[in-house]
Chains A and B, each alone.
Chain A
Amino acid sequence: MAVPRFDDPSPAVGSPGDVVLENPAFEVLVGLKNLRQLRSTLIEVAGRVAMSGDRDQRGILVIEGTDVTDHRLSEEWQIIQAILKPKVLDRLALVIRRSGLSDQVFGRLLEQDANGIERVVAYERTQVVQSSKAPGEAFFEVLRVLLIRWFRKMDPVMLKHLSKLSGYSYPTVAEALERLEPHLKRYSDRRVELRSFPRDAWFQLVAQSEKVRSSEGYADRSGQPRPVEIMQQRLGKYDLKGLGLEGAVAVGGVLGARHYEPGLDIIGAPRLDLVIHLKTWNQGSIHDLLRHLDPALQPAERGEPCQVVIHKLYRWDSLFYREVSLFDVGPYSEYSPTGNQWADEVECALDLHEMHLEAQAMEFIDRLVQKATAA
């Protein structure tokens, strides 16, 4: 089957292996801006197909999110149909992907090709996000990783490992650590850990949260939202493995915060926050996942109350808190018949802030800090 494969079986974000494609050749455009860009890229893909020595060589252009309307895309495809020779056109496909909607396909797309799209796009998105990240965002990523490790009372981390965990180069991580110096404990063997809670840095992260995180909201417009607990139950019954999402989905938000701090002063959960770890994500469909949670969900407009929010996590290690079977208990696992995965403590706290549950967010942080500093 023609699917993308990676030179490095577990590429860290920031130093990924190249995608090697035999047939079909994928091209991904994330956030298509205009038709000129579409036409030139389609012609480029068509050229590669035409010039290939292989008569069966196919080319697939995937548009991942665009503001261009379906009608205009359809018109553009008709123009392409008129321009290209049938023997080339027959080996081309254009796939339009919009969040929360089924894919729209122009041209001929084989089933096995369709199966490869999700992973190619996931990989491409990590590249786009990495390359578009401002250096300042490295600071927040390093901060997040250090906070999680501190909250969990984990051992100090080697700088090299911190670089891998955060997905940033050694010098970038070193620069970020300088800003955290007053709260840092350094060891002679190049290990570091937090010694206290960096309150100022935390509030900077909260203020920049929307920019730093990649989140998409989904709303119920029926006036009869499905209860969050029901959606969580449905998530537990979902065949994540069969759908390429095994290990890639974790519950955050109020439910996650309550998992870490059951005594937290929050009644009910206004929405379901899910974190998707893109490195673990293997061709799974977020559209299918959402449909399973509640088929009535629609992509939310800006400012519209959401029933589900999906946060995409790009770093190398998800740092999810896994509930595993009794026979697989590790230092950061506990027995649970449901096998839930929980987003890390920082994700949950940021979700609470995002929901304007400020008092609860601070209560949550204070409790975590108390535990971290307890003997």
Chain B
Amino acid sequence: MPPDCLGNVVIIGSLAAGYHFFGNDLSKAVRTKDVDCVLEPFHAAVGVGQHIAQQLMDAGWQRRMAGNHQKPGDDQTPDDQLPAVRLYPPQVNPDSEESWFIELLTVPQSAETKGKTWTRLQLKEGHFGLPAFRFLIITAHDPLPAGAMGLRYARPEMMALANLLEHPKIGLERMRGLFAGRAIKRSNKDLGRVLAIATLAALDDYSPWTIIWQEALQTCFPNEWRQLALRVGAGLHALLHSETDLEEAQHTCNNGLLASQPASINSLRATGERLLGDAIEVLETVARARN
């Protein structure tokens, strides 16, 4: 990536979590196919995105040809039908087991922006889109430096909060591809990620997350933070009370972030209960008290 763009990139997802928890431990690994790069702040995202994407493509990085919108768009293509920037390294065979790609995303334009939005990115190959999800702003909040690389990565507890906010209930939507051989509900995968992060954090007490989460919510959603705080735990609560969904979440954990230290259902449930009791219920109390 161009050095002058690195300061605008925040790595999120399982790679960020793996780097945080065992970046220095060569005996452990993370199973992931994608490197999610959030470009922020929003006003810089288009310029940075153009610069990064163009440099990588000029260097031979290959576009990932998957999904509904593979062909670059033009002036007439609606924003939500533009292909995302997903690029494999030059010598990688995209069909191989070891292949991986980077994906460029951005944060929403404002706190009021809801759902998934697309920001147009014009390259010489055509028009592409930078997707943004409402709660990506949380993952990009107060990121940590990735050593001397100049990149930053999301705080694990912020990724957990973003996933909790994204899934206030167990949705029926399943992920497009198989996850370690199984069709998985997106909610179970993302809420499973929350449990995996909490497991790896291995805190004796999760109450410090209450303060960190409250600060992030107040900063990112100053007008709505109380309402959002009150829904943080709903999806996790539902997951812990559904054997089937929790088992699916366990499958994603043990074939992803927890591949090096698989967790039992009882262990994941205990971690989830601790997260609810130590951090989330306290956050809810704080949000209610100041109403």
Report chain B residues within 8 Å CB of A222: 264, 266-267, 269-271
Whether B204 contacts A227 by the Cβ 8 Å rule is yes
User: Size of chain B's interface in residues, with CB distance under 8 A?
Assistant: 15
In the complex, what distance in Å separates the CA atom of A234 from the CA atom of B278? 10
Report chain A residues within 8 Å CB of B202: 224
User: Size of chain A's interface in residues, with CB distance under 8 A?
Assistant: 15
Interface string of B235-279 (1 = CB under 8 A from A): 000000000000000000000000000001011011101101110
Contacts A227-B204, A230-B205, A234-B205 given; indicate if A221 touches B266 (C-beta within 8 A): yes
**Whole-angstrom distance between the Cβ of A271 and the nearest chain B Cβ:** 16
Stretch binding the partner chain, chosen from A7-15, A67-75, A287-295: A287-295
> Closest A-chain residue to B273, C-beta based?
A295
Whether A292 contacts B269 by the Cβ 8 Å rule is no
**Whole-angstrom distance between the Cβ of A216 and the nearest chain B Cβ:** 19
Whether B270 contacts A221 by the Cβ 8 Å rule is yes
Report chain B residues within 8 Å CB of A184: none
> Closest B-chain residue to A220, C-beta based?
B270
Q: Does A171 lie at the interface of the complex (its beta carbon under 8 Å from any beta carbon of B)? A: no
**Whole-angstrom distance between the Cβ of A102 and the nearest chain B Cβ:** 12
Q: Does A28 lie at the interface of the complex (its beta carbon under 8 Å from any beta carbon of B)? A: no
Whether A224 contacts B277 by the Cβ 8 Å rule is no
**Whole-angstrom distance between the Cβ of A100 and the nearest chain B Cβ:** 12
Q: Does A296 lie at the interface of the complex (its beta carbon under 8 Å from any beta carbon of B)? A: yes
Report chain B residues within 8 Å CB of A263: none
Report chain A residues within 8 Å CB of B205: 226, 230, 233-234
Whether A226 contacts B266 by the Cβ 8 Å rule is no
Report chain A residues within 8 Å CB of B204: 226-227, 230
Whether B273 contacts A224 by the Cβ 8 Å rule is no
**Cβ contact of B267, chosen from A224, A227, A291, cutoff 8 A:** A224
Whether A296 contacts B264 by the Cβ 8 Å rule is no
**Cβ contact of A295, chosen from B264, B267, B276, cutoff 8 A:** B276
Report chain A residues within 8 Å CB of B274: 226, 294-296
Report chain B residues within 8 Å CB of A292: 277
Give chain A interface residues in 245-285, CB to chain B under 8 Å.
Answer: none
Contacts A230-B205, A234-B205, A296-B270 given; indicate if A223 touches B277 (C-beta within 8 A): no
Contacts A230-B204, A230-B205, A234-B205 given; indicate if A295 touches B277 (C-beta within 8 A): yes
**Whole-angstrom distance between the Cβ of A299 and the nearest chain B Cβ:** 14
Interface string of B207-223 (1 = CB under 8 A from A): 10000000000000000
In the complex, what distance in Å separates the CA atom of A243 from the CA atom of B83? 55
Report chain B residues within 8 Å CB of A221: 266, 270
Give chain B interface residues in 102-133, CB to chain A under 8 Å.
Answer: none
**Cβ contact of B278, chosen from A220, A223, A233, A295, cutoff 8 A:** A295
Whether A223 contacts B264 by the Cβ 8 Å rule is yes
**Cβ contact of B273, chosen from A227, A230, A233, A296, cutoff 8 A:** A296
In the complex, what distance in Å separates the CA atom of A23 from the CA atom of B277? 34
Give chain B interface residues in 57-78, CB to chain A under 8 Å.
Answer: none
Report chain A residues within 8 Å CB of B269: 222, 296
In the complex, what distance in Å separates the CA atom of A296 from the CA atom of B205? 12
Interface string of A230-245 (1 = CB under 8 A from B): 1001100000000000
**Cβ contact of B266, chosen from A223, A230, A234, A291, cutoff 8 A:** A223
Interface string of A195-235 (1 = CB under 8 A from B): 00000000000000000000000001111101100100110
**Whole-angstrom distance between the Cβ of B193 and the nearest chain A Cβ:** 19
Report chain B residues within 8 Å CB of A295: 273-274, 276-278
> Closest A-chain residue to B280, C-beta based?
A295
**Whole-angstrom distance between the Cβ of A357 and the nearest chain B Cβ:** 24
Report chain A residues within 8 Å CB of B270: 220-222, 224, 296
Report chain B residues within 8 Å CB of A296: 269-271, 273-274
**Whole-angstrom distance between the Cβ of B74 and the nearest chain A Cβ:** 54
In the complex, what distance in Å separates the CA atom of A220 from the CA atom of B271? 11
Give chain B interface residues in 137-165, CB to chain A under 8 Å.
Answer: none
In the complex, what distance in Å separates the CA atom of A238 from the CA atom of B227? 25
Report chain A residues within 8 Å CB of B277: 291-292, 294-295
Contacts A230-B205, A234-B205 given; indicate if A223 touches B267 (C-beta within 8 A): yes
**Whole-angstrom distance between the Cβ of A176 and the nearest chain B Cβ:** 44
**Whole-angstrom distance between the Cβ of A255 and the nearest chain B Cβ:** 16
**Whole-angstrom distance between the Cβ of A287 and the nearest chain B Cβ:** 11
In the complex, what distance in Å separates the CA atom of A221 from the CA atom of B267? 7
In the complex, what distance in Å separates the CA atom of A317 from the CA atom of B267? 41
**Whole-angstrom distance between the Cβ of B85 and the nearest chain A Cβ:** 41
Report chain B residues within 8 Å CB of A233: 205
> Closest A-chain residue to B271, C-beta based?
A222
In the complex, what distance in Å separates the CA atom of A233 from the CA atom of B273? 19
In the complex, what distance in Å separates the CA atom of A233 from the CA atom of B267? 23
Report chain A residues within 8 Å CB of B273: 295-296
Q: Which residues of A contact B (CB under 8 A)?
A: 220-224, 226-227, 230, 233-234, 291-292, 294-296
A/B interface sample: 11 pairs, CB < 8 A = A222-B264, A222-B269, A223-B266, A223-B267, A224-B270, A226-B205, A230-B205, A233-B205, A295-B274, A296-B273, A296-B274
Seed contacts A234-B207, A295-B277; 7 additional CB < 8 Å A-B pairs: A222-B267, A222-B271, A227-B204, A230-B204, A294-B277, A295-B276, A296-B271
Smallest CB-CB A-B distances: 8 pairs: A295-B277, A222-B270, A296-B270, A295-B273, A230-B204, A222-B267, A296-B273, A221-B266
